[in-house]
């Protein structure tokens, strides 16, 4: 089955640690996205990638980093510089970015909690 997988489902981080969230897709999509979701707020874009070895900052990129070495994979690292990282993180993909016009497909999410 084609789809997007995210791991782990739950992640706990101590203060000062970097953690990496995994996102893999087998939909052969060029574009991939990372969003953050907080209670009572809309999703906010962290980073997106239109093609392998290319990525752009979204609205809230500070304290996060990404890489896109393979088409299928778009891992997100939450660094110690992110002051309030506790949130639900969603990865998505689309056939291509096309100015955000194309339908996006989402993974099941990772809930990150800072201890």
Partner 1 sequence: KQEVTQIPAALSVPEGENLVLNCSFTDSAIYNLQWFRQDPGKGLTSLLLIQSSQREQTSGRLNASLDKSSGRSTLYIAASQPGDSATYLCAVSNYQLIWGAGTKLIIKP
Binding site for partner 1 (CB under 8 A): 4, 6, 40-45, 48, 58, 88, 90, 92, 99-101, 103-109, 111
How many angstroms separate the CA atoms of 70 and 101, rounded?
A: 23
Nearer to partner 1, 80 or 102 (CB): 102
Cβ proximity of 6 and 106 under 8 Å: no
Nearer to partner 1, 13 or 44 (CB): 44
Q: How far is the CB of 80 from partner 1 (least distance, A)?
A: 26
Q: How far is the CB of 69 from partner 1 (least distance, A)?
A: 23
Cβ proximity of 93 and 77 under 8 Å: no
Nearer to partner 1, 16 or 39 (CB): 39
What residues contact residue 11 under an 8 Å CB cut-off, 6+ apart? 19, 21, 110, 111, 112, 113
């Amino acid at each position: 089955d084609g789809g997007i997988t995210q791991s782990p489902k739950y992640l706990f981080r101590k203060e000062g640690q970097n953690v990496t969230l995994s996102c893999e897709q087998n939909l052969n999509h060029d574009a991939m996205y990372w969003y953050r979701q907080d209670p009572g707020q809309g999703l906010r874009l962290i980073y997106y990638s239109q093609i392998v070895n290319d990525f752009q900052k979204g609205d809230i990129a500070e304290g996060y980093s990404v890489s896109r070495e393979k088409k299928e994979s778009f891992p997100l690292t939450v660094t110690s510089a992110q002051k309030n990282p506790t949130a639900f993180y969603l990865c998505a993909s689309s056939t291509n970015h096309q100015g955000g016009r194309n339908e996006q497909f989402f993974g099941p999410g990772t809930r990150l909690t800072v201890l």
